[in-house]
């Protein structure tokens, strides 16, 4: 049974890789809508439902999600509020999602409720609809409560007072347009001191090192950008970035080998983040879809739990492909 199950998973991933995504036929519309999310629980490990740990991460629940909106999917980044109850995400087809996180009696992830979905707008105030303009891949909650959203293909940063508002353009680093169309900034975070950190998925600053940027805020909602390097190992690419309660930063990395999806959760110290430096992150955990219930993981958030523990949230992008899933996972970082 184990080999047979894995062969089905492998075949499914091969088909998924070969098939083009099937995006929704249009944006949500001018008004946001309530969406009913149906959640099913998942184990951490495919062949051992009792397993609750991988590397430094203690598993606190996983759910697969579907929604009654044709726009539900493609979730490319994630933010969880300090209260551990409010979830916000953006889709690479130009949508946003908000929901309330539900827990079971043990305090582990149980599901999402009170969800709403809406359209990200362009500079003209109209909902985004074509892929080159709507490909939102990264987001950061700024100190004033607004959102900085990073887009691929037409590489840019837009700032939203609220995600249903009309954005304003934010001048990004000079190197931003040099990124490959589908290899832009997926890892984006706002630090507690107001600085912005961004890492390119594919643009190299030198062999073996991806280009990153530190944006220091100045007057007029502008940033002064300095570059740094992020050490690239094997074929893993960063897909998300979050600051942990202790000030360090975690990155989510992904590699697809043509058969399985491989995921790594990494961490580096805030002190390493210096202009001109090359960061070397440590590995906290590694997953593979050959053994673990993971998919195309692209969202990462960090919060502090009720006991003072560090919690890490991971979310997947299903590419609107029926052979993939929208997965939300909760982990606790072991001391």
Task: State yes or no: pLDDT of 281 exceeds 80.
Answer: yes
HSE of 99, CA atoms in CB hemisphere, 13 A:
23
Q: Read off the pLDDT of residues 56-91 as tens digits, 9 standing for 90 and up.
A: 999 999 999 999 999 999 999 999 999 999 999 999
Asked if the model's pLDDT at residue 2 lies above 80, the reply is no
Distances (CA, A) of 269 to 41, 103, 277, 323, 331: 34, 30, 12, 37, 20
Give the whole-number percent of the chain exceeding pLDDT 70: 93
Measure the CA–CA gap between 118 and 99, rounded to whole angstroms: 12
Q: How far apart are CA 238 and CA 265, in angstroms?
A: 10
Bigger pLDDT: 332 vs 1: 332
pLDDT, tens digit (0-9, with 9 covering 90-100), for 234-278: 899 999 999 999 999 999 999 999 999 999 999 999 999 999 999
The DSSP call for residue 17 is H
Mean of pLDDT values over 2-15? 40
pLDDT > 70? residue 29: yes
pLDDT at 37 over 90: yes
In this model, does residue 5 exceed pLDDT 60? no
Q: Domain spanning 2-333 has what CATH number?
A: 2.120.10
pLDDT tier at 15, thresholds 50, 70, 90: very low
Domain edges within the chain: 2-333
Residue 21's pLDDT is what? 64
pLDDT at 24: 80
pLDDT tier for residue 16 given thresholds of 50, 70 and 90:
very low
CA 312 to chain centre: 12
The closest alpha carbon to 80, from 32, 112, 124, belongs to 112
Closest by CA to 228, choosing from 281, 277, 173, 282, is 277
Q: Does residue 11 register a pLDDT over 80?
A: no
Question: To the nearest 10°, the Cα dihedral for 285, 300, 7, 42?
Answer: 100
Average pLDDT of span 106-110? 97
């Amino acid at each position: 049974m184990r080999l047979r199950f894995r062969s089905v998973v492998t075949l499914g991933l091969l088909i998924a890789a070969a098939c083009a995504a099937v995006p929704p036929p249009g944006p949500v519309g001018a008004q946001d809508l309530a969406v009913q999310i149906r959640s099913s629980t998942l184990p951490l490990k495919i062949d051992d439902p009792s397993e609750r740990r991988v590397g430094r991460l203690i598993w606190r629940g996983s759910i697969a999600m579907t929604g009654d909106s044709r726009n539900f999917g493609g979730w490319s980044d994630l933010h969880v509020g300090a209260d551990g109850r409010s979830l916000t995400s953006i889709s690479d087809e130009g949508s946003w999602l908000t929901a309330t996180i539900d827990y079971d009696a043990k305090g582990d992830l149980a599901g999402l409720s009170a969800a709403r979905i809406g359209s990200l707008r362009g500079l003209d105030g109209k909902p985004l609809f074509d892929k080159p303009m709507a490909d939102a891949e990264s987001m950061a909650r700024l100190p004033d409560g607004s959102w900085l959203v990073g887009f691929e293909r037409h590489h840019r940063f837009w700032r939203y007072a609220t995600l249903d508002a009309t954005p304003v353009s934010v001048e990004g680093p000079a190197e931003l347009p040099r990124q490959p169309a589908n290899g832009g900034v997926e890892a984006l975070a706002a630090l507690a001191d107001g600085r912005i950190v961004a890492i390119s998925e594919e643009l190299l600053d030198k062999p073996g090192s991806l280009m990153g940027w530190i944006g220091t805020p100045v007057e007029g909602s502008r940033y002064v950008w300095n570059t740094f390097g992020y050490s690239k190992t094997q074929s893993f690419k960063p897909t998300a970035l979050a600051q942990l309660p202790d000030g360090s930063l975690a990155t989510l990395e992904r590699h697809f080998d043509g058969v399985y999806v491989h995921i790594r959760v990494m961490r580096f110290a805030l002190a390493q983040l210096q202009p001109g430096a090359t960061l070397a992150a440590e590995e906290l955990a590694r997953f593979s879809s050959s053994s673990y219930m993971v998919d195309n993981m692209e969202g990462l958030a960090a919060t502090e739990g009720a006991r003072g523990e560090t919690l890490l949230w991971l979310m997947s992008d299903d590419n609107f492909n029926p052979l993939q899933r929208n997965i939300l996972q909760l982990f606790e970082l072991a001391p």
